[in-house]
Amino acid sequence: MIVVWFLIKEGFKGLVRSKFAGAFTILIVWITLTILGLGYIIGRDTINAVNSLKAQFDINIFIRESASQEKIQDFADHLKALEEVEDFTFISKDKAAQKFQKEFGKDIYSVLDYNPLPPSFNLQLKPIYRNLASVESITSDLSEFSVIDEIKYKKNFLVMLEKYQRVILYIITGAFLLLCFISIILISNTIKMAIFSRRNTISTLKLIGATNNFIRAPFIIEGVLQGFLGASLASGMIYGLAYLLNNHLQSVVQYTVELNLPIFAVIVSFGSVMGLLGSIRAIRKFL
Amino acid sequence: MINFQNVACTFGSQDAGVKNINLNIGEDDFVFLVGPNGAGKSTLLRLIYMDCLPDDGLVQIKNYRSDKIREKDIPKLRRQIGMIFQDFKLLDDRNVYQNVAISLYISHHKTRKIKNEVHEKLNQLNLGHRVHYKPDNLSGGEKQMVAIARALIKDPIVILADEPTGDLDPRASIEVIDQLHKINQENKAVIVATHDYNLVKRVPDARIISLKDGQITSMI
């Protein structure tokens, strides 16, 4: 127990002893995790923006004027039973006229003397079905109903979103993985350099009878602490930048960054794990 | 206590090695290994603390046999051997107290015992006033005395000193050799590798083993 306590203390003291090499490791963890964290937030918000655009996607199903109330109700019941449907609203002729007035500022009756607007259903699909293949399949099935006059949706909008969503997802995933890889290599090599600078200490400890675990433990604790400190600084920096953006730069950039505890927990855990793995990998070379 | 039987250990044609070594060192022997550079003095010491293992023959230190020792047992052996080097091998980022205490932490001693023993040993070697000094702030002689304290503190069965006076001035060299002699008089084996024949004369009762080209040429 005394040895364990001694080794933990040695790990903390090692942070001070490592001086510039240790400070450099913390700096590298800080910079890489700040970039990685910001990359994640930008990627997440871009994907969310695309998804919120997709959420605006709806299908308008126009009903024949001649359709009976009973048939319309049957069709509504059918829609309710469909797995793909998230929500739908029925827009009667009168409601359509009100909508027209709201959108164009004119009463339809004063323009045409009669209401040509057909009754319709406005349909929202569940997020996983907001893609061209699903929409085409659903609309094709629905068009079989005799009450339906026409089905309209923004096909080009959906095609464009799908295309860009795929490209954005590839770019973001690729950039994020590349950043992760660079971070891992950079952090690991920096820790290796820091340990290399103390290779004489390691060889002396071996000569005076220290076991590999005795030598390894303080370096691992030190590595974890360096990772933790670097990641904490990165979290602080990300929080600071987000605070600046949300509170003082809204007039310049109309973008609000949402931050939550899990993001910081992931960054700090990632930094600590990087410190752990980096030091294990580095110390192995000298034992 | 230390026994070499037909030991050969080579590191390729360029490096010094030893061959055909037969040697017995007792528990209270003071042994000088003398010879020019490359004679095999350091190799002989490395064989004792099993930094290298023989290609042929057997090295035995108490119950530790070079042909049977497992890697995990080497630290246990080294905890029973006090080692002193020409370049001191002190930990530069720790003070004198920490440099000596580390030996006892490695051997899992209790903190209170470590404190008492380290202070006692440093006072014995006239280093009591240097406890908080870092190696960089010590003279060469003081550094070697710290190394001796670190070696002695674990109550080893043998002290190995590889050119312990190589980096010291004559006065400090004599102090170090006299200190090692004193240790030996307390019934502890001491093996000193040196090429300074003047120092050998300081210990009249020492055994002198001469080496050349990795072989023992004489034993007195």
Which range marks the domain in which residue A26 is found? 2-52+162-284
First to last CA, chain B: 18
Domain boundary among A126, A153, A180: A153
- B102 with A2: Cβ contact below 8 A: no
Amino acid identity for residue B114 in this structure: I
Q: Domain spans of chain B? A: 2-219
- Collapsed DSSP state (helix, strand, coil) of residue B11: coil
Global ipTM: 0.90
Domain boundary among A153, A170, A202: A153
A138 and A266 fall within a common domain? no
Q: How far apart are CA A256 and CA A59, in angstroms?
A: 30
Question: What pLDDT sits at residue B23?
Answer: 93
Those residues with Cβ within 8 angstroms of residue A61's Cβ, 6 or more apart along the chain or in another chain: A120, A121, A122, A123, A142, A148, A150, A151
- B83 with A3: Cβ contact below 8 A: no
Could you say which of A6, A200, A207 has the minimum Cβ distance to residue B105? A6
A181 and A98 fall within a common domain? no
Q: How far apart are CA B31 and CA A254, in angstroms?
A: 83
A125 and A266 fall within a common domain? no
Q: What is the pTM of this model?
A: 0.75
Count of domains observed in chain A: 2
Question: What pLDDT sits at residue B12?
Answer: 67
Structure tokens at A243: 């605070």
- A3 with B108: Cβ contact below 8 A: yes
Q: How far apart are CA B93 and CA A44, in angstroms?
A: 45
* Chain B contact present for A200, CB below 8 A: yes
Structure tokens at B181: 């002699």
pLDDT tens, position by position, B168-209: 888 889 989 999 999 999 889 999 999 888 889 889 889 999
**pLDDT range class, residue B14, cuts 50, 70, 90:** low
Could you say which of A201, A203, A207 has the minimum Cβ distance to residue B78? A207
Question: What pLDDT sits at residue A230?
Answer: 94
Q: What is the topology classification, in CATH, of domain B2-219? A: Rossmann fold (3.40.50)
Question: What pLDDT sits at residue B16?
Answer: 67
pLDDT tens, position by position, A131-148: 889 999 999 998 888 888
A124 CB burial (10 A radius; 0-12, 13-18, 19+): middle
* Chain B contact present for A205, CB below 8 A: yes
Where is B170: in which H helix or E strand? helix B170-185
A42 and A66 fall within a common domain? no
pLDDT tens, position by position, B115-169: 999 999 999 898 999 999 999 999 999 999 999 999 999 999 999 999 999 888 8
Chain A positions touching B51 (Cβ under 8 A) are: 207
Chain A positions touching B90 (Cβ under 8 A) are: 204
Structure tokens at A232: 């904490």
A27 and A70 fall within a common domain? no
Domain boundary among A99, A132, A153: A153
* A1 has a pLDDT exceeding 70: no
Q: How far apart are CA B89 and CA A199, in angstroms?
A: 12
Question: What pLDDT sits at residue A182?
Answer: 83
pLDDT tens, position by position, B40-84: 899 999 999 999 999 999 999 999 999 999 999 999 999 999 999
A117 and A201 fall within a common domain? no
Residue located via tokens 């691992």: A220
pLDDT tens, position by position, A19-76: 788 888 899 889 989 998 988 888 888 888 888 888 888 999 999 888 888 888 999 9
A167 and A278 fall within a common domain? yes
* B114 has a pLDDT exceeding 90: yes
- A204 with B91: Cβ contact below 8 A: yes
